[in-house]
Amino acid sequence: MQKFTTLTGVAAPLPQVNVDTDMIIPKQYLKTIERTGLGRGLFDEMRYDADGNEIPGFVLNQPAYRNAEILVAGENFGCGSSREHAPWALLDFGIRCVIAPSFADIFFNNCFKNGILPIVLPQEQVDMLMAEARKGANARITVDLEAQTITTSDGQAVGFEVDPFRKHCLLNGLDDIGLTLEKAAAIDSFEARAAAERPWA
């Protein structure tokens, strides 16, 4: 998993509340177990019309936000089904951080497991960052996970909370497999000892 330390990038404003996982990545994209290629389907029904043409008014179709790496969203982001394809699609598009007043629990947990930092902030701070994001590509936001700060292009800074264990995992690029591999030496030692003590097993 890619490490998350400091991210400076364009933030896209998506003020809609209750954006569910079917809106993030519709069900027709769930046939794959590959984590790549899903960025094309991110927000499919909001990004494209029935003929597959881009809808110009949708934020990620606008020139300023085509390379957005941060999403400033409305409350209860990621509600609905538990599909892990939702964070996969965000990550494949290039989104590494989502800021919102609240998240659905399963989506929130899945973000950390896939290298995305979900940040919960009070509504007034989200509103400030939403206004900053609406300035376009020149208003780049910096998210510093080590310092737990978000800084706007004009120097306004806000702090955020993050679970220490999840912070450790993101800073070191550790998913569940990576966490297990940290214990590889102890696992190897146990298996060698077990094989010597119980060669019949």
Domain extents in the chain: 6-173
Distance CA(47)–CA(57), nearest Å, equals 8
Confidence of residue 199 (pLDDT cuts 50, 70, 90): confident
Pairing state between β 6-14 and 70-73 = parallel
- pLDDT tens-digit readout, 14-50: 999 999 999 999 998 888 777 788 999 999 999 999 9
% of the chain exceeding 90 in pLDDT: 77
Distance CA(128)–CA(18), nearest Å, equals 20
Q: Which fold has domain 6-173?
A: Aconitase; domain 4 (3.20.19)
Q: In what order do the strands lie in the sheet with 117-120?
A: 117-120, 97-100, 70-73, 6-14, 140-144, 149-151, 157-159
Can you give the pTM of this predicted structure?
0.88
Task: Let me know the angle formed at the C-alpha of 62 by 15 and 93, rounded to the nearest 5 degrees.
Answer: 80
Q: Which two tokens stand for residue 168?
A: 């450790």
CA distances from 182 to 152, 165, 185, 188 (A): 36, 14, 8, 11
Residue 13 parent element (H or E)? strand 6-14
